[in-house]
Structure formats: C-alpha cells, structure tokens
Amino acid sequence: RAQSDPAISVQPWMQELGDGVDAAPYGVPSPFEADVKRRNVEWLTADPVSSVNFTPLHDLDGIITPNGLCFERHHSGVARVDPAQHRLMIHGLVERPLVFTMEDLKRFPRENHVYSLECAANSGMEWRGAQLNGCQFTHGMIHNVMYTGIPLRLLLEEAGVGTEGKWLLAEGADAAAMTRSIPMEKALDDCLVAFKMNGEALRPEQGYPLRLVVPGWEGNMWVKWLRRLEVGDQPWHHREETSKYTDLLEDGTARRFTWEMDAKSVITNPSPQAPITHGPGPTVLTGLAWSGRGTIPRVDVTLDGGKNWQEARIDGPSLPKSLHRFYFEFDWDGSPLLLQSRAHDSTGYVQPTKAELRAFRGVNSIYHNNGIQTWAVAADGSAENVEIS
Ligand code: MTE
Ligand code: CO
C-alpha cells in the first residue's frame, strides 16, 4: 500500500504558511475533530435547560477528561456568576458564622486531586434492558478532572464546628438552589471547595467560580456555584435526597443516602460509536474503570460473553476515586465478539452482572446501575449494545 498511497506526496499544508501565534489566543481543537463533542439525547428530558449531556468517552484516551468535554447536568441551566459578587457563607451550628469572598478563599492552603464525578443516574436508562447505542450515552455521565481546591475541613474549622454539628447542607447559587445534606464525617474527610479544574478556572457549566467536590460520592452532591454551607444536627431531607436519588426496591421500600459509587467499568473502544474499521488482525481494546471506594487493581475482559476472562493491562496513574485506563491488545480473527469488562476495586469488591444486580435491587431503580456492559461486535466490525443472560 505504501507505494500506491497518494497521501505520501507533498500536501497543500506543506505549500503554504500556517496561522501565526495570535490566531487562537485560547486554543481550540483541530477542525478535523469536530465530531468529538458532548451530546444530548433529545427524548430523555422535556427541556435542554434542565437536562444532561454526555462525555464522548469513545473519543478520549488516558484518564483526564478535557474541560470542554465534561458532561453537564443542571437542573435550572448554567448560572452566570460574577466572581466579584460571589460569596460563600458558613452558618448554622458554628461558633463564628463566616462569609468568604473568592479572594478570601484563595488565601487558604490548597490541594490538587484527580477525582471522577459520576452522576448516580449514569447507565440508569439500561436498568430494564439494553437501550442506548453508544458508551457516550450508556456511561458518559462521568468526568475525571484534577481539581485545585481548599479542603472543606479547613473552612469548617475556621468557622468553628462543634460536636453537635453532625450534618452539612450545601446549596448552589443557580435558579434550582440545588441542596444536599452531607454527613459531617465526609465533609471533614476528603471534600474540597474547588475553583480550578485541570489547571484553569472551573467552566461555567461545572460551577464557576466554586464547586463542592465530594470524592467517590454520587455527582448530585457535588454542588455547583456553591454559595452556602449550613451546619446542623440532622439531615434536611430535601427533594434531591427523597423524591430523587433514592432506589425503589421490589418490596416497596426505598434505599436512601446511597452516596458511594460502586466499582464499574466500560469498554470504550470498540463500541457502537467506535466500530472496528480496520478488519481482522491486531486490535486495541480499551476502556475505563473506577470505584468510589478506592483504586482499581484489576480489570478482566472477555471477548466471548463471559466464557473466558483475561486480565487487561491498566496503564497510567492508579489514583483512588479516579478513572483508570485499561487496554487489551488482541488478534481479531474477524468473527463476532461479545465484549465485556469487569472491574475489581481495592476493597475486594467485584463489579456484578446486570442479572446479579437485578436479583438484589429489582427493576424499579434508575440510579446506581454498575452492572457489566456488553457490546456485540459483528463480523463487519460494527458494534451494538446488547444484553446476554
Ligand atoms: N449543583 C447545582 N447547583 N445545580 C445542579 O443542577 N446538578 C448535580 C450536581 N451539582 C447540579 C449541581 C448533578 S445531578 C450532577 S450529576 C453534577 O452536578 C453534574 O456535574 P457536571 O455538570 O460538572 O457534570
Ligand atoms: Co446527577
């Protein structure tokens, strides 16, 4: 092929000067990458203002999600906050109620941590069967970012939290005034009040200028446009922890306060939006695995729907409560495949099959679906979302 390939000859871009350094003071991706974007599923929500879009996981590699591709979920649209007018208030059961400006906050010691945020509703549409055709839609309510922020503990200590302060209410400055109750133990453990993501200011969609980071816990608790923290002695039972973000079981009772995100994984390539186009031979399979409880020491992959499992190769940093990248290189013989991945986390927990999950939780849930995903790859390389028993 090398000798007959016209692309080896001199191309137009070798025959003209390119743009100078002033053409894009804030860089943008190559126009040839225009297909790499967040996508919405129109029928999922009544209105794009209170809606969700999805991270294009099949177009990414490594573990970090670029800021412009982080999925967005907002209940009342993106608040347009002027940082000069933004305040963070701490009140309730504290010795000294405090109000911080952004400048005040930037005088506290900072930390940097990579954490994944997964919406509890990620894969929620798949509870009763295979539904959406692409890992962007089945698993794309997740992003993985390096946050720069202040340990929440330092701000709570500054305000003086006593032993009667058992719970914390976090409220956002958007029109939804999103509010969640967080146990004080978690607030004092590893939560951050973040103002940077991947080195730059938070994007408006992600809560500019300030967001709460609640590592390993469901995305709904990561309050964006954070404006108020109230210390109390019991949870508030607001909408997002009663009518929403609870799981109705078969016996009519509901699980509540299901904060931690269980271990989960997905093969991002091949997948319905990323078919095998090169034919039989050397093939790179890759995917993501994560756990709200720690790291991922092991991922297994099967090509035949679970008859034979082999260990995948994890590459890149293995950080707690962060995405992990895995690879499995194989020689494809061109026959149909049933691809699955299975994550093991550092607590010893193993990702369940969807059947195992349903046996335990029934079929009424939306949230917390961490079941094993199957892609059926046909002989022509195309891939489809399926379920096998
Ligand atoms: N915070 C506020 N203030 N308003 C919101 O609508 N949505 C929550 C959470 N924090 C929300 C919010 C939900 S349900 C999720 S999954 C995450 O933010 C989404 O974060 P992202 O938009 O950065 O992906
Ligand atoms: Co959510």
In this prediction, residues 299-313 reach a mean pLDDT of 98
Given a cut of 70, whether residue 2 has pLDDT beyond it is no
How confident is the model at residue 263, as a pLDDT? 98
CATH number of the domain residue 120 falls in: 3.90.420.10
User: How much of the chain, in percent, has pLDDT values that exceed 70?
Assistant: 99
pLDDT tens for residues 150-188? 999 999 999 999 899 999 999 999 999 999 999 999 999
Residues 208-253 pLDDT 10s: 999 999 999 999 999 999 999 999 999 999 988 988 899 899 999 9
As a whole number of Å, the CA-based R_g of the chain is 23
Look up tokens 């490594």; give the residue. 62
Residue 178 is predicted with a pLDDT of 94
Token pair belonging to 247: 């799981």
For residues 179 and 246, membership in a common domain is answered with yes
Same domain flag for 93 and 222: yes
Distances (CA, A) of 205 to 49, 65, 219: 12, 14, 14
| CB of 55 closer than 6 angstroms to any ligand 1 atom | no
Clarify whether residues 117 and 208 are in a common domain.
yes
Residue pair 197/57 in contact by the 8 Å Cβ criterion: no
ipTM of this complex > 0.90? yes
**Whether this model's pTM surpasses 0.90:** yes
Choice from 45, 71, 75 to test ligand 1 binding pocket (greatest atom count within 8 A of CB): 75
Q: pLDDT tens, 12-63?
A: 999 999 999 999 999 999 999 999 999 999 888 888 888 999 999 999 999 9
CA angle 191/265/61 to nearest 5° reads 85
Residue for token digits 């195309």?
382
Query: For ligand 1, is residue 140 a contact (CB within 6 Å)?
Result: no
pLDDT at 1: 59
Nearest residue (by CA) to ligand 1, atom 24, is 72
Residue 94: which domain range?
A: 73-131+140-255
Last residue of a domain, one of 233, 255, 277: 255
Residue nearest to atom 5 of ligand 1 (CA): 74
The reply to whether 170 and 273 lie within a common domain is no
Total structural domains in the chain? 2
73 lines ligand 1 (CB under 6 A): yes
The answer on 313 and 222 residing in a single domain is no
pLDDT tens-digit readout, 98-155: 999 999 999 999 999 999 999 999 999 999 999 999 999 999 999 999 999 999 999 9
User: Among the atoms of ligand 1, which is closest to the Cα of residue 171?
Assistant: 3
Please, which residues bridge with residue 94 across strands? Answer: 161
Query: Quick check: CB of 212 below 6 Å from ligand 1?
Result: no
> Are 351 and 225 in a shared domain?
no
Buried b (16+ CB within 10 A) or exposed e, 354-383: beebbeebeeebbbbbbbbbbbbbeeebeb
Is the CB of residue 202 below 6 angstroms from any atom belonging to ligand 1?
no
Domain-located, residue 12: no
